[in-house]
Amino acid sequence: MTTETKSMIIVGIISIAILFGGAWLYQRNAPKDELLANQDALVRGNSMKVEATNEKLVVAEFGDYQCPACGYIAPGMKELQETYKDSVTFVFRDFPLNIHANAVKAAQLSYIANEQGKYWEMHEKLYNLQTEWEKVSDPTDLFVSYAKALNMNTEDTKKKLSSDIYVDRIKDDIKDASLLGINSTPTFFVGNTIIRTANYEAIKKAIDVELAKVK
């Protein structure tokens, strides 16, 4: 057996372990009692969403813009939104962790962008450029530059970033996360299946399983 073949086998074993490890994780840690008791907390009327043309399933993510795992899965979530755009509505809820100093301001920026019809564009930009802003002491200037790149009103953006605008809305998402037993990011709800792993295949499989139930 060649060294290259051995390497391929090892990589394959690791990949399988990650896939099945992720599936085990969400089954073992699923806060099902909290979900059943607080179903209304999953999606609110003002929650940010990409709505399906013929909704059969809702996938809700509780995420943190400064969370590396959230940034890792973000491109995969965009791909899933496109793949299932006819049947699955995708929802994003903010759950900024205390260990991430810039996460709340990043969430504020996303809502400021929403005022100008740029929510999902900013959502994507924050994750794509996460390593650029995550550890700076004050990301305001960087965030204003992102607004400029999206042809937003930069003066208005800077002013609102310096205020407490949208902080209460973010706190409401955090309260809902608490009601649902969430303590880590990203956490996904695929229907009533809870996934606590940034594993694309695990999320896609759960979507397929749930959609099969409603066909």
Does the domain made of 3-214 have the CATH classification 3.40.30.10?
yes
User: What mean pLDDT comes out for the span 76-98?
Assistant: 98
DSSP state of 210: H
Which has more pLDDT, 196 or 16? 196
Structure tokens at 122: 């900013």
For the chain, domain boundaries: 3-214
pLDDT digits (tens, 9 = 90+) for 7-61: 443 434 333 333 333 333 333 344 566 676 688 899 999 999 999 999 999 999 9
Contact 183, 170 (CB under 8 A): no
Query: What is the per-residue pLDDT for 179?
Result: 92
SS3 assignment for 67-97: CHHHHHHHHHHHHHHHHCCCCEEEEEEECCC
For the entire predicted model, the pTM comes to 0.84
HSE, CB side, 13 Å, CA atoms: give it for residue 65. 29
| CB neighbourhood size of 90 (10 A) | 22
In this prediction, residues 178-194 reach a mean pLDDT of: 94
CA torsion through residues 53, 92, 78, 119, sign: positive
- What pLDDT digit, counting tens, does each position of 124-183 carry? 999 999 999 999 999 999 999 999 999 999 999 999 999 999 999 999 999 999 999 999
